[in-house]
Amino acid sequence: MKRLAPVALILAAAVALPAAAQERVLNLYSSRHYQTDEALYAGFTKKTGVRINRIEANEDALLERLKNEGARSPADVLVTVDAGRLWRAEQMGLFQPVKSRVLEERIPGELRHPDGLWFAFSVRARPIFYLKGAVDPAQVRDYEDLANPKWKGKVCIRSSSNMYNLSLMSSMIANAGPVKAEEWAKGVVANFARSPKGGDTDQLKAVAAGECQLALANTYYYVRLMKSAKPEERAVADKVGVVFPNQSGRGTHVNISGAGVLKHAPHREAAVKFLEYLASDEAQAYFANGNNEYPAAGKVQGNRELASLGEFRKDSLNVTLLGKNQAAAQQTYDRAGWK
């Protein structure tokens, strides 16, 4: 983990240096912890000459830190995963609006805040995974099919408090309404093969082992197994198939990794340049090839395994609703008995 210099030193430097010199530095708070992002940041510095100072921590720790730092914060940009967490930061008043023709042209409207408070730079799809040879993929065309009693005892999934599942339920509430969303949750709970536990990779491994036959997971976990240097992990991917659900309707649920310029950013110009860089073809390729995520702008280039999953129709719901419906999503899961 790379750490920023103490806040006092940064503030002292800001006073001592002229404005032009200040613009050569960008202070970044990030909850992304992928080694491949190093190349992303190095690319920005090479292109602009702006050096990046970075603090990495989990989302809750970063939000608490920003809250405590207030107007004295040295941070320019917050990068985090999941629209729900971006929404939380927005509700805390941490962002300032950005007006950029580059960002508006490159990032689709449903993948950015309507007022320019934050923008998506990578997309994570959450499809259905099934055990090959045991499940006919034609029988799980939609998320709603997971609630069919025929799958009793055959569904593995992680906990309801997981951000990925909260965002999925948030999208179902927005698309189908709260009543149908709760009926779906109750149906899925009735089909659990076991109590929710583990992460997305654990669900995929459980399917491959025959502990269950169906699961939900983000695509980049699956592609990571496909590309693994470990034969046993590639074997998991070989045993598991993928279905992008709801292709004849609203489309497959997607979530994002995104960023926004912070309210008290001392290097605003550099911060906006950084967001614009993240939307460039060069940076979008890093997201796709480095962490097996779908680019927010353009198509997958260079990641053979990710591209092999095929193109699919994405839910066009504006991702801001994934955060706004979060509390209702957790309440829905709780009423359904989804632990």
212: DSSP letter: -
Tell me the average pLDDT across 257-276: 96
Query: pLDDT confidence of 35, banded at 50, 70, 90?
Result: low
Q: What is the DSSP secondary-structure string of 272-284?
A: HHHHHHHTSHHHH
Q: What is the pLDDT of residue 260?
A: 97
Tens of pLDDT along 211-222?
999 999 999 999
Tell me the average pLDDT across 82-104: 94
Mean pLDDT over each residue of the chain, to the nearest integer:
90
328, pLDDT greater than 60: yes
Compute how many other C-beta atoms are within 10 angstroms of the C-beta atom of residue 333.
24
Comparing CA positions, the residue from 339, 311, 2 lying closest to residue 162 is 339
Percent of the chain scoring above 90 in pLDDT: 78
Q: pTM for the whole thing? A: 0.87
Q: In what order do the strands lie in the sheet with 240-243?
A: 155-156, 214-216, 128-131, 240-243
Q: In what order do the strands lie in the sheet with 294-295?
A: 51-56, 25-30, 77-81, 254-261, 119-125, 294-295
SS3 29: strand
Q: What is the pLDDT of residue 17?
A: 40
Residue 40 dihedral angles phi and psi, to the nearest 5°:
-60, -50
303, pLDDT greater than 90: no
Intra-chain end-to-end CA distance of the chain, in Å: 33
20, pLDDT greater than 90: no
Domains of the chain in start order, with CATH, are 7-124+254-302 (3.40.190.10), 125-252+313-336 (3.40.190.10)
Which residues fall within 8 angstroms of residue 325, CB to CB, at 6 or more apart? Answer: 169, 170, 171, 173, 174
Tens of pLDDT along 42-92?
899 999 999 999 999 888 899 999 999 999 999 999 999 889 889 999 999
Contact present, 204 and 217 (Cβ < 8 Å): yes
Distance CA 153, CA 94 (A): 44
Distance CA 247, CA 2 (A): 42
Query: pLDDT confidence of 3, banded at 50, 70, 90?
Result: very low
Distance, C-alpha 152 to centroid of its chain: 30
Percent of the chain scoring above 70 in pLDDT: 92
Tokens representing residue 84 in the block: 């729900």
Compute how many other C-beta atoms are within 10 angstroms of the C-beta atom of residue 194.
13
Contact present, 167 and 322 (Cβ < 8 Å): yes
- H-state helical runs in the chain: 7-16, 19-22, 37-48, 59-69, 83-91, 101-106, 163-176, 178-190, 200-208, 219-226, 231-239, 268-278, 281-291, 304-308, 320-324, 326-336
Amino acid at 89: A
Tens of pLDDT along 139-186?
999 999 999 999 999 999 999 999 899 999 999 999 999 999 999 999
Q: What is the pLDDT of residue 72?
A: 96
245, pLDDT greater than 80: yes
SS3 159: coil
Angle at CA of residue 219, ends 40 and 322, nearest 5°: 85
H-helix or E-strand spanning residue 260: strand 254-261
